[in-house]
Amino acid sequence: MQKNSSQPEPIPDALRHFDDLPNSAHVRLPVVCALFACAPATVWRNVKKQKLPSPARIGAGVTAWNVGALRQVMLSSGEDA
């Protein structure tokens, strides 16, 4: 069964409430992609280039990024502009 392409992807709750999350929280790859407006491959490329922090392995096959570390990157990239 095909997805209905006229329906946009729902916004993840973690992205919708990102400003309310504590710095100790973690978010998954789709949220990081949305925050930096890039594809998953670009996120991983930027991790390898150390432009983004490395994710933490929080379970079997589950990786997530620390919200506080992502905020630091967002603030520093805003200063560079």
Residue 5 lies in a domain: no
Q: Which amino acid is at 45?
A: R
In a domain, 72, yes or no: yes
Q: How confident is the model at residue 81 (pLDDT cuts 50, 70, 90)?
A: very low
* CA distances to 1, 52, 81 from 77, in Å: 42, 11, 7
Range of the domain at 37: 26-80
Residue 17 forms part of a structural domain:
no
Domain count, the chain: 1
Count other C-beta atoms under 10 Å from residue 34's C-beta.
17
The encoded tokens of residue 60 equal 């079997």
56 lies in some domain: yes
**pLDDT digit string (tens) for 20-38?**
999 999 999 999 999 999 9
Of 14 and 43, the structure prediction assigns the larger pLDDT to 43
CA distance 44 to 32: 10
pTM of the model: 0.82
Q: Kindly report, residue by residue over 31-72, the tens digit of the pLDDT.
A: 999 999 999 999 999 999 999 999 999 999 999 999 999 999
pLDDT at 29: 97
Tokens of 53: 């922090």
